[in-house]
Amino acid sequence: MKANKIFKSLLFFVALLLCSISINAQCDTTDDLITMPTDDSWFLDNATSQNGWEGINVQPYDYDGVRYVNIKYATGILKSPVFPNGCKSLSFQWDGAGFQTTEIVNCLLKIELKRGETTIWSDTITYDSSIGDYTPFQALYDNLNIPGEVQLVLTEITDATPDQYYAGFEVWDFCFTDYAVPAIPAHNFQFNVPKDATVFVGDKDQTITVAGNYLTKHYVPFTPKPEVHIAETDTSRIWYYDLPEPKNAAGGFNYRITRSGKAPHVGLFKPKAGTAVESDTLLVFTDVQLSAHDAKDIDHDVNSLNGRNVADMFININAQGYLTLPLQADTAFQLIHTRNWQAIDTDVNNYFIEPDFHYTVVDENGQPSNTVITVSDSGVIRPVGAGTAIVLVDYDAMLCRHTTNVGVADVKADGAFFSASWGENTAVFVVSVAQPDANITTNMNLNAYWAQDGTDKTNGVAIDAEHDVLYFEADKGSFPYTFTPEGATQVLAATPVVSATATAYIGFSTDSVTVNNDGSYTVKLGFGRNIVKLVSATGATYQVITAKPVTYTVSNATHPDEPFQPGDEVSVLFNTLYHPSNKMSGIYNMSAGIQYTGFDTNFPLILGPGQYTFASRAQEYKVTIPADYTESEFTLTYGVIKVKGFGSYYGEHRNITIQNGVNPNLNASVREAYFGALPDIRIEVDNGAGIPDAASNKISVYPNPFTDYIIVNATENGTAKIFDLSGKAVLTEKLVNGNNRIATSVLPKGIYVLKIGGNTVKIVK
């Protein structure tokens, strides 16, 4: 049999031999079958070479220094020794021959890499007898990359019968390349994460020094720190980093562990002095941890994280929420946005990590469109065509393992869950590209009453798309905002459609707009970010206005459950008011309180209930009805949220750039302003209006109002009693016929009832 093969393919084998010499020169392990015994019989069972190759029903033989092994019949098996260093690649030569029938018979060679009895990898080679005998082929498998001990097993399988078949597969020139695990470079940190997760490590600029201390600049991009090595196990990948000591002793590096569709895990860490390899188990992230929350999970409870989970946002568009761009190829606008509350490490250090932001561009009908602008994944806006577009910005949830003061007992182990952006707080702004000037003065102002003595808002009394929230009583459904523009021929509005996670629009209309006789317009503002469009003969301009519902309860703090009387303290407890200028690193660190006309609100600039937790517990407003109040209704008007504290001018966040960032602000000034609008509150007062005065009865009393005394003219002897409005007798005096002087200096200011016999009269101190 072998002689025929030699004569028919001598030249081909010379070429293969040369090739195999080249291949074997690169091999870590060759076949080494030379010591396997030969035998002229058809079956040679349990043949074994000195180097560990084992054959069952195989026939070895030599040709020109090459050892061939014929794997015979359907029971032939050839096993290699165990290779301790795995298998990166495998190749060998093979052919099949020797059928004594003219029928076409298929024969298979099963190739397996096994660890013990477990098959790690397998393949099959098919020999078709119709192509003729003695046709050599090469089996080549690159990039197997199987670590650990492995053994090669070749098994012949055929559908031929013994009387049809007298040969088998011949194999030779085996070449193995070890899968050597690369050496791990020097490192001091490692993250063990599931295989489908990615790791980002970065830090911020630490070149600012104050008193010799390095400080971290805010809002500049994180500088990525590349990994030095990634190793893979059966279930995870290990990311290795070699990181320098941070310049800032209190600083370090941040990480972000991301899995598609899930809330990332973020935090801070720094190398430990004197350690070669970081062993902190907090750097191991399991499948269960990374699956804990979806990216769009919402927590709308204002009490979460000690009141620091308000999922709002600030962006660097102007107070109108309206950006105009020319149509030029080199035009670009970099969006700067920040979660509000920020996930800061401490209230003092203010190192924060942002969530993942997303951008949606729609046309004026609310339909997705990229014909006017595009927004890149990094927030760069570029014009592509003339027209107007609306941009919506939202962000994902995240689990933070570095932030403090959030009520999580072990934040490093459990993480603090920061909600995805609330639907109503989706950032919204309008972009017009290559549009004509509308020549409109909007006069869309707010709180000029409060700004008479000045304001620290960068845009003065102009309504602010972000800072100003117009609150309406929830059962009324909208806030009626009235303004008188100059140059506008029409006003339209796009009312937001708010879900738990998003804001959407269905176009502009006049449905919520009323044209008043005096030339003013009233727009009914719905829940969320409303867009008002003002049209002129030449173009259009836009204003974003935020409105939100609020509920409140009014109670008598002086006499609970009783009607209000002059002198009583009124408690107004609001639900769902929000701080208009929450803490923002290096920009705002303000306190807030509720204020109505004529009744000043005083609060501490720092560490008061309105500084960091306004949304969850600083919602009460108290005022005392004047004791000499004579009306039947006590009204609180011009309601606003007063903000005062240390920081920049309100609106300064729009001047942040990623090139310059913001330095830590250690010399902030006190800034004060009034924001938004609150509903008028009307309180019925029982001020004795049903009690007759002196002119309507027989009692003569003066002066009325009085201060320290009253003169009562009595027509007969008797008794005078003075009652407060609760019905309690506060003074009793004997009367004689004629004028009687009654001292009243002991009485506080207020309204009283004087009774003499069956007659009564209302008197006021």
What kind of architecture, by CATH, is found in domain 694-764?
Sandwich (2.60)
Least confident of 54-63, 390-399, 588-597: 54-63
User: What are the DSSP calls for 273-301, one per residue?
Assistant: TT-SS---GGGB--HHHHTSSBTT-----
The pLDDT tens digits for 137-149 are 899 998 898 988 9
Q: How many beta carbons lie within 10 A of that of residue 243, not counting itself?
A: 18
Determine contact, residues 111/203, Cβ cutoff 8 Å. no
- Predicted TM-score (pTM) of the model is 0.74
The residues that bridge with 571 in the sheet, in sequence order, are 555, 622
| Contact by Cβ (8 Å): 701, 761 | yes
Of 55, 287, 233, the C-alpha closest to 156 is 55
- pLDDT recorded at residue 10: 37
Residue 20 is predicted with a pLDDT of 39
pLDDT of residue 715: 84
The neighbour count for residue 14, using CB atoms within 10 Å, is 11
Predicted confidence (pLDDT) at residue 280 exceeds the cutoff of 60: no
Choice between 411 and 743, residue whose per-residue pLDDT is larger = 743
Element (H, E) at 593: strand 588-595
Across 13-17, 360-364, 692-696, 752-756, least confident range: 13-17
Q: Report pLDDT digits (tens) over 104-137.
A: 567 789 999 999 999 999 999 887 766 655 678 8
Name the CA dihedral angle for 81, 83, 87, 93, rounded to a multiple of 10 degrees. -30
Q: What is the DSSP letter of 12?
A: H
Q: Do 265 and 401 contact (CB within 8 A), yes or no? A: yes
Q: CA torsion angle for 574, 522, 434, 372 (degrees, to 10)?
A: 60
For the chain, the domains span 2-177, 189-290, 450-548, 551-684, 694-764
Residue holding tokens 């990615």? 198
What distance in Å separates the CA atoms of residue 167 and residue 387, rounded to the nearest whole number? 79
Would you place residue 665 in the very low, low, confident or very high pLDDT band (cuts 50, 70, 90)?
confident
Q: What is the pLDDT of residue 474?
A: 95
Give residue 6's pLDDT.
Answer: 37
Q: With the CA atoms of 455, 552, 582 and 356 taken in that order, what torsion angle do they form, in degrees rounded to the nearest 10?
A: -130
| 622 SS3 class | strand
Cis peptide before 81 (omega within 30 of 0): no
- Both tokens of 85, joined, read 């260093």
**pLDDT > 70: what percent of the chain?**
87
Alpha-carbon distance of 540 to 241, in angstroms, equals 54
Predicted local distance difference test score (pLDDT) of residue 261? 96
**Chain mean pLDDT for the chain:** 87
Domains 2-177 and 694-764 share a fold: no
Could you read off the pLDDT of 221-251 as tens digits, one per residue?
A: 888 999 999 988 878 999 999 888 766 555 6
Q: Tens of pLDDT along 706-726? A: 999 999 998 888 899 998 877
Give the C-alpha separation, 562 to 129, whole Å: 106
Cα–Cα distance between 25 and 385 in angstroms, integer? 62
User: In this predicted model, what pLDDT tens digit does every residue of 310-336 receive, in sequence order?
Assistant: 999 999 999 999 999 999 989 999 999
Which CATH number does 450-548 carry?
A: 2.60.40
What's the length of the chain? 765
* DSSP 3-state of 455: coil
Tokens 């209006």 locate to 689
CB 266 within 8 A of CB 353: yes
Of 728 and 82, the one with more pLDDT: 82
Contact 521, 485 (CB under 8 A): yes
Residue 503 has pLDDT above 50, yes or no: yes
If pLDDT is split at 50, 70 and 90, which confidence band does 663 have?
A: confident
The Cα–Cα gap between 599 and 226 comes to: 58
The domain over range 2-177 is classified in CATH as 3.40.140.10:
no
- Tell me if 681 sits within 8 A of 646, measured CB to CB: no
**Please, which pLDDT band fits residue 388 given cuts at 50, 70 and 90?**
very high
Amino acid at 387: G
Give tens-digit pLDDT for 504-558.
999 999 999 999 999 999 999 999 999 999 999 999 999 999 999 999 999 999 9
